[in-house]
Amino acid sequence: MYGRGSVVAVATTPNVHASGLTVTLEAMACGRPVVIPDTPGLTDYIVPGETGLVYPVGDEDALAGCVRKLLADPVMAAEMGCAGRRRVENEYSTELQAARLAELVLRM
């Protein structure tokens, strides 16, 4: 489904557990630009303006504006999608996560 979409928009309310993280990373891994709310934790995973766009949480008009902006500029959307894919590969791959976990375990 991600591969068929032009943009992946995450619409969550304020929370303390980074709701929407899996969708955000999966979309980025599939080379899709993301539109996410400015919620704690979630914004740590993207680079605003490079891998996706961020809107104020709860602002539906801003969310719609971000989606429209990406749909109106397919070149920018494609560049953000490629940058997101690179970010996932370089920062959040299974191998990197396993190595980080092993490092934590070995410190105990």
Higher pLDDT, 82 or 14: 82
pLDDT band at 16 (very low <50, low <70, confident <90, very high): confident
* pLDDT tens string 31-63: 999 999 998 888 889 999 999 999 999 999 999
Torsion of CA 90, 91, 97, 98, to 10 degrees: 30
Would you list the domain boundaries of the chain?
2-107
| Tokens (6 digits) for 100 | 């980080």
Q: Which of 9, 61, 69, 59 is nearest to 34 (CA)?
A: 9
Residue type, 86: R
Determine the average pLDDT of the residues in 5-15.
Answer: 89
Predicted TM-score of the model (pTM) = 0.86
pLDDT at 17: 73
Residue 15 has pLDDT above 90, yes or no: no
Residue 24 has pLDDT above 90, yes or no: yes
CATH homologous superfamily of 2-107: Glycogen Phosphorylase B; (3.40.50.2000)
- What is the spatial distance between Cα 59 and Cα 90, in angstroms, rounded to a whole number? 31
Judge whether 64 and 56 are in contact, CB under 8 Å. Answer: no
